[in-house]
Structure 1
Amino acid sequence: MSDSLTSSDQAAHSDLPALPALPEDGVQRVLCVVAHPDDMEYGTSAAVRAWTQAGVEVTYLLLTRGEAGMAEAPEVVGPLRALEQRRACDLVGVRDLLYLDHPDGMLEAGLPLRRDIARVMRRVRPHLVLTANFDLEAYGSYNQADHRAAGLSAVDAARDAANPWVFRELLEQEGLEPWSARAMLIAGHPDPTHAKQVDADQVQAAVESLKAHEAYLEHVTGHPAPEEFIPEILRHGGEAAGTAHAVTLRVVDLGGLSGSEE
């Protein structure tokens, strides 16, 4: 996507207080909810690599297969992009890659999408949920419609997943107990609150994970090479955090940052 998910648009000025580290004590599972293949690969996958190297189980939930994102027919593009996403996941240690198969380019923030995301949240039972910036304006332009729908739906679904009286069929028919994540993490936000420190190897893993989307990147006219801008994004994040490299995040406490849920 040309208005890609970045970990920071936005690096903080050096005279501002350093962003605090992301609270992660006891975190064992993270669920990343985004619209398309490649949406996690614009810097944020460096944090994913740091998590997986620390033994955290990271699951990617893609709401579409990105089948409308190239010139070729969707029935050709969807499987191709899924293959490239699988390669990207392998490079950062993500085993669990899930799709909801909602239509690319026509993602709707409504009850059906919220229910589908909440279902996965109850199955995965993540301590942290990560999504992308869903502001109307982002990345120097208007944010893509699917990105807005995906982020807003992820936020709403996090509360739905915790409420036994919303989508009651998930419990009554599917046996999925309510689950409350500790916090929502928003990547690419212009006003981050926390940072996830990453090292040089994790920066390189982020570069390689975006390069795995070879066919898609060839389709995007004028797209810079990943090695030309991913390290810079993460360096700016590091400046905001008082370290060499970092992924910056806006963290919204869902009531469990100090908890120890299993």
Structure 2
Amino acid sequence: MEQLPEDWDRGIVIVAHPDDIEYGAAAAVARWTRQGKDIRYVLVSSGEAGIAGLPPAESGPLRELEERTGAKVVGVTEVEFLGYPDGRIEESIALRRDLAAAIRRHRPEMVVLFNFGDGWARGYANSADHRAVGRAALDAVSDAGNEWIHPEIADLPIWSPRWAAVYGVPDGSHAVDVTDTIEPAVESLMAHTRYLEALSPEPVAAQARAVIDMTTGPKEGFPAPHAVSFELFYFAG
């Protein structure tokens, strides 16, 4: 497993829901912002269908607030929500267009995506929203650099990122050492207090610690006690 390239200055993380970033990438984001990189978040939905017993009209604003709070912990201040319906996101030309527009607006060299495969591991199905967003976003990385595909966003200058890196994958090709950023990652996930309280009676701090310990454990072939792994895709840039 190789070191993920870090010779870049601006990145965006594109995911479907609040908490998706904190469930795997926040430790890497904290590392990058400490290096002085400009990291921004783009969330396709507000996660309004994600808290049992809480109506979407109440859940959506709450989850947006929790996401912004968690983002600040790891040094991210720019968080954008696209307003797609939680649980009903489709891999569509419209979604590709909106994500390509976001890429053109933010002009990242690195685009970070959540696992969009059919499963997390053998026998465990992935979310339909995760699959739709990740696949559309990977296409949008190419679309953002093509002046002809989405004429509706021609007012935005074309932009071609150099890489897309997918976290939460069973077997990554690259990794980053996050040994020094475990604590902010835990705190960032803990910001999703109401969401975690609905998932389990276990204390929020204990849930967050267990998740971060699981997602940032040692990776085979990579010399760090704590690491986040990625599948890396190369683009012309």
Coarse TM-score class (shorter-chain normalised): over 0.9
What secondary structure does 2:230 align onto? strand
* Range 136-145 or range 93-102, more displaced: 136-145
Q: TM-score, normalised by structure 2?
A: 0.94
Q: What does residue 144 of structure 2 align with? A: 161
Structure with the larger RCO, 1 or 2 (CA within 8 Å, 6+ apart) = 1
CA distance in 1, matches of 2:134, 2:67: 19
* 1:207 matches 2:186: yes
1:234-253 pair list within 5 angstroms: 234-237=216-219, 239-253=220-234
Distance 2:56 2:221 in 1: 40
Q: Distance in 2 between matches of 1:142 and 1:44?
A: 20
Letter in 1 for 2:9: Q
State whether residues 27 and 178 of structure 2, in contact with CA within 8 Å, keep that contact through their aligned partners in structure 1: yes
The residue aligned with 1:21 is 3
Deviation of residue 138 (structure 1)? 1.4
2:17 alignment counterpart: 36
Aligned equivalent of 2:198, options 215, 219, 234: 219
- Aligned match of 2:130: 147
**Separation in 2 of the partners of 1:49 and 1:109?**
30
In 1, the alpha carbon distance for the partners of 2:27 and 2:45 equals 22
**Count of aligned pairs between the two proteins:** 232
Identity %: 41
Counterpart of 2:76?
94
Structure 2 residue runs of 5 or longer lacking an equivalent are: none
Q: CA deviation at 1:222?
A: 6.3
Give the corresponding residue for 1:65: 46
Structure ranking higher in strand proportion: 2
The Cα offsets for residues 114-171 of structure 1, whole Å up to 9 and x where unpaired, read as 1111001001110000111111111551101101111001101111101111112212
Shift of the alpha carbon at 1:235?
A: 2.3
Q: CA RMSD in A?
A: 1.4
Amino acid at match of 1:182: R
Question: Could you report, residue by residue, the CA deviation over 1:229-252 in whole angstroms, capped at 9, with x for unpaired residues?
Answer: 312431223x54111211100001
> Residue 182 of structure 1 is aligned with which of 162, 182, 195?
162
> What is the one-letter code of the residue matched to 2:185?
A
TM-score by length of 1: 0.85
Using the TM superposition, give the Cα deviation of residue 72 of structure 1 relative to its aligned residue in structure 2, in angstroms.
1.1
Q: Is the 8 A contact 2:12 2:106 kept in 1?
A: yes
SS in structure 2 of the partner of residue 210 of structure 1: helix
- 1:233 is matched with which residue? 215
- Residue 104 of structure 1 is matched in structure 2 by 86
Q: Take 1:212 and 1:41, find their aligned partners in 2: how far apart are those partners?
A: 9
Give the letter aligned to residue 133 of structure 1.
Answer: N
> Structure 1 residues 211 and 30, CA, compared in 2 at 3 Å: closer, same or farther?
same
What is the CA distance between 1:44 and its match in structure 2? 1.0
Structure 2 SS opposite 1:180: coil
SS in 2 for 1:216: helix
